[in-house]
């Protein structure tokens, strides 16, 4: 199931089942490039963030581009490996799984790395990770790289998620913040992007207790069946993007600062969570 954000995009609930987030003018000569973007923030936020990127791609490639997502990481990944997208932006661990299991081709990675944050309500500050023992920790997507790295980080400090503390999953960043208003959930795991996407009035009621990790940023991948000439045109276009005015807008909106070629070392860095990622995707 994809989600659509066009002029009618006023809330995520109204978007389920529609074909695209952002679509340019139709063309009889060229089928739209399906640009799949992982739903790390709400569709409303994705609409704003990816408008400059979509417009640049469409102009540079001289073809329509549709930015599409899904209502969660698991359905998004399912569509990714099924070949629904010609160009994909996804979490590094999900991209590695898609490469290994479905033959997608990673070629670029966003910069800088993504901070993983532990966030509390300002009225209930946390001073020790033991505060979650016997209680809940909130997160949006258990398959996200930030969430998986937190599980490892907590385990190294004597807290086993699922045994010593439970994970409660929120639908989006606003729901994540809402969970912190009650005493049952002293901490939320967020990426910096999720934290920044929370409305200012709510964000002012929160405090970042600490940054527990900085994980590899999002991968860009080509669909497994992309013809060589089309692959060359897309990767060349992405290579030109960081120096454009559209990129400056995109980076300002997202907090990223660059897109560079991906290396084998980048991919190998997430191999310690690949099997966990697969397990979580199967159980989603």
- Cβ atoms within 10 A of the Cβ of 211, count? 11
Count helices and strands (H / E) in the chain.
11, 12
Question: Mapping DSSP to helix (H, G, I), strand (E, B) and coil, where does residue 181 land?
Answer: coil
What order do you get walking across the sheet with 166-169 strand by strand? 166-169, 136-139, 187-191, 114-121, 206-215
Query: Could you tell me which of 216, 195, 221 has the C-alpha nearest to residue 93?
Result: 216
**In this structure, what are the phi and psi dihedrals at residue 23, rounded to the nearest 5 degrees?**
-130, 135
d(CA 16, CA 262): 33
Structure confidence at residue 44 (pLDDT): 84
231-249-62 Cα angle (round to 5) = 35
**In this structure, what are the phi and psi dihedrals at residue 276, rounded to the nearest 5 degrees?**
-60, -40
Query: Could you tell me which of 245, 241, 251 has the C-alpha nearest to residue 57?
Result: 241
Query: Could you tell me which of 85, 72, 86 has the C-alpha nearest to residue 38?
Result: 72
**In this structure, what are the phi and psi dihedrals at residue 6, rounded to the nearest 5 degrees?**
-120, -145
Residues whose CB falls within 8 Å of the CB of residue 246, separated by 6 or more in sequence, listed in order: 52, 53, 55, 56
Structure confidence at residue 14 (pLDDT): 28
Residues whose CB falls within 8 Å of the CB of residue 37, separated by 6 or more in sequence, listed in order: 21, 46, 50, 67, 68, 69, 88, 89
CB 224 within 8 A of CB 104: yes
Residue indicated by tokens 């500050």: 125
Structure confidence at residue 92 (pLDDT): 97
- For the whole model, what pTM was predicted? 0.82
**Could you list the mean pLDDT of each consecutive 10-residue stretch along the chain, which spans 284 residues?**
38 34 52 94 88 97 96 94 97 97 98 96 95 95 91 96 94 86 94 90 95 96 96 98 98 96 96 94 86
Structure confidence at residue 17 (pLDDT): 31
Structure confidence at residue 21 (pLDDT): 56
Give just the sign of the alpha carbon dihedral 6, 10, 11, 13: negative
- What the chain holds in terms of domains, given with CATH numbers, is 12-112+216-283 (3.40.190.10), 114-215 (3.40.190.10)
Structure confidence at residue 283 (pLDDT): 87
């Amino acid at each position: 199931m994809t989600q659509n954000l066009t002029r009618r995009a006023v809330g995520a609930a109204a978007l389920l089942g529609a074909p695209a987030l952002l679509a340019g003018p139709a063309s009889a000569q060229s089928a739209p490039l399906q640009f799949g973007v992982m739903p790390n923030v709400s569709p409303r936020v994705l609409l704003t963030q990816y408008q400059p990127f979509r417009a640049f791609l469409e102009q540079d490639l001289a073809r329509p581009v549709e930015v599409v997502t899904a209502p969660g990481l698991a359905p998004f990944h399912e569509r990714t490996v099924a070949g629904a997208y010609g160009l994909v932006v996804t979490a590094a661990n999900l991209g590695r799984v898609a490469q290994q299991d479905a033959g997608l081709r990673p070629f670029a990675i966003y910069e800088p790395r993504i901070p993983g944050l532990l966030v509390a309500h300002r009225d209930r500050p946390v001073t020790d990770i033991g505060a979650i023992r016997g209680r809940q920790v909130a997160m949006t997507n258990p398959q996200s790289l930030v969430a998986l790295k937190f599980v490892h980080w907590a385990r190294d400090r004597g807290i086993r998620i699922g045994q010593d503390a439970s994970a409660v999953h929120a639908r989006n960043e606003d729901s994540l913040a809402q969970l912190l208003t009650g005493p049952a959930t002293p901490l939320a795991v967020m990426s910096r992007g999720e934290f920044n996407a929370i409305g200012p009035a709510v964000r002012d009621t929160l405090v970042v207790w600490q940054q527990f990790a900085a994980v590899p940023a999002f991968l860009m991948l080509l669909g497994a069946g992309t013809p060589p000439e089309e692959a060359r045109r897309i990767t060349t276009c992405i290579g030109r993007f960081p120096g454009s005015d559209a990129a400056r807008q995109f980076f300002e909106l997202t907090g990223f600062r660059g897109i560079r070629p991906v290396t084998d070392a980048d991919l190998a860095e997430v191999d310690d969570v690949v099997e966990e990622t697969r397990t979580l995707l199967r159980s989603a």
